[in-house]
Amino acid sequence: PYIFKSVHHFVEKYNLTDAAFHRFLQEQLLITTQNTISDSPFLTAAMGLAYPSDTYYPVGGMYKPAELLFESFKASGGEVKFKKRVKAINKTKTGYSIRLENGEEFHVKNVISNIPIWNMVEMTDGKIKKYFEEKSKLFNFSWGAFTVNFGIESKEELDSLYYQIHTNEKIPHSDSNSFFVSFSHIDDRQRAPEGSRSVTISLHTNVKNWINLSTEEYNQKKEMTTSTILSHFDINFPQFKNSEKLHLLSGTPKTFQFYTGRSNGFVGGIPHSVSKNLLKMPSNISPFDGLYLVGDTVFPGQGTPAVVLGALNIVNEILN
Ligand SMILES: Cc1cc2nc3c(=O)[nH]c(=O)nc-3n(C[C@H](O)[C@H](O)[C@H](O)COP(=O)(O)OP(=O)(O)OC[C@H]3O[C@@H](n4cnc5c(N)ncnc54)[C@H](O)[C@@H]3O)c2cc1C
């Protein structure tokens, strides 16, 4: 039943009126369920609110766990082809044909697709295309991200490597009154040289903020969002105020779209929602023989743990 009741329902029921607590919930839910108090299901919100207390640090950065998976896959006889964009997935008499952008074609019995449902519409046809069109129509929204990355000199310990900074006003061209900051560990030599740390900042933005702009408008918006974030960073981390921000880079949904190929630059997956609840999400086992789906646009939704759980569902299904 907690999938069908919002956090708002319980906030009202237990008369949780404290403004600061309300604000805390709102911003924490945005980075965990990708939704707000009024539409976040209580079940996923409860998991989301408990989640930051159990955050581990991968030495070398977030690509390290992916690298371990890659090594393990290779050791089991798997082959990974990098920089090969899939253009079409079509049903054949014996399974599926996969056509790549460079013209290469593969014929396979089964497909496990990690490609977002919105992209699947463009690369399939017939009944399969219709299925992804219907799902994309229902789940037609996902957030975009604005990111800022840089290096700083840092010799002292920090209380935590992870912070959510709350701001009184919305950050320009975003949909957030907060941003998330992660620092590399002081001893992580793979992320930064001795005496330095790398800093990653991200926040939610509607992808519509970044489309149909001239280059000049785009650069102006990007500059304004970056400088506002950095001024809040300096206020909240005065110990780094005089440290030069090295290798400063900002990214918008356009950047994500360019590098990942994800439709519209939608990242972070489908928001958890009472109205479009978990049970309506595309299943990991598609209605089409031999076509399986993983990733943050299918059950059980967004975030690395959920994506892994979806993958385990498929492993169990195939092995059984
Ligand atoms: C700024 C930010 C911070 C986040 N923080 C957290 C966090 O703290 N904790 C957490 O759990 N989650 C976090 N997430 C969410 C998490 O990153 C995603 O939910 C997760 O990566 C989704 O995994 P995925 O495999 O579904 O998609 P992706 O990681 O996007 O992988 C999909 C892959 O498919 C590739 N692809 C797309 N189209 C094609 C094509 N046509 N041919 C071939 N390949 C293609 C893409 O290039 C990409 O490599 C964050 C996301 C963002 C953007």
Identify whether residues 113 and 135 lie together within a single domain: yes
The pLDDT, as a whole number, for residue 140 is: 96
Is residue 269 included in any domain, yes or no? no
Name the residue at shortest CA distance from atom 10 of ligand 1: 303
- Nearest-atom number in ligand 1 for the CA of 123 is 41
| 286 close to 297: Cβ distance less than 8 angstroms | no
The pLDDT, as a whole number, for residue 284 is: 96
Identify whether residues 235 and 155 lie together within a single domain: yes
Identify whether residues 227 and 306 lie together within a single domain: no
The pLDDT, as a whole number, for residue 142 is: 97
The pLDDT, as a whole number, for residue 52 is: 62
Identify whether residues 40 and 123 lie together within a single domain: no
- Nearest-atom number in ligand 1 for the CA of 296 is 26
CA of 70 to the centre of ligand 1 (A): 15
Range of the domain at 71: 63-140+286-319
Check if the interface score ipTM surpasses 0.90.
Answer: yes
Identify whether residues 29 and 134 lie together within a single domain: no
CATH of the domain at 296: 3.50.50.60
The pLDDT, as a whole number, for residue 55 is: 76
Name the residue at shortest CA distance from atom 1 of ligand 1: 202
Identify whether residues 67 and 46 lie together within a single domain: no
The pLDDT, as a whole number, for residue 53 is: 65
Identify whether residues 111 and 188 lie together within a single domain: no
The pLDDT, as a whole number, for residue 51 is: 73
Helices (H), the chain: 7-13, 19-32, 42-50, 63-75, 117-123, 126-138, 215-236, 253-260, 304-319
The pLDDT, as a whole number, for residue 83 is: 93
Q: What is the per-residue burial (b if ≥16 Cβ within 10 Å, else e) of 157-191?
A: eeeeeebbbbbeeebebbbbbbbbbbbbbbebeeb
If you average pLDDT over every residue of the chain, what do you get? Answer: 95
The pLDDT, as a whole number, for residue 9 is: 97
Low-confidence ranges of the chain (pLDDT < 50): none
Is residue 281 included in any domain, yes or no? no
Identify whether residues 153 and 229 lie together within a single domain: yes
Identify whether residues 234 and 168 lie together within a single domain: yes
Identify whether residues 36 and 119 lie together within a single domain: no
Name residues contacting ligand 1 (CB within 6 A).
85-86, 114-115, 119, 145, 147, 202, 260-262, 267-269, 295-296, 302-305, 307
Give the count of domains, the chain: 3
Separation CA 70–CA 57 (nearest Å): 19
71 φ/ψ angles, rounded to the nearest 5 degrees:
-65, -40
Is residue 118 included in any domain, yes or no? yes
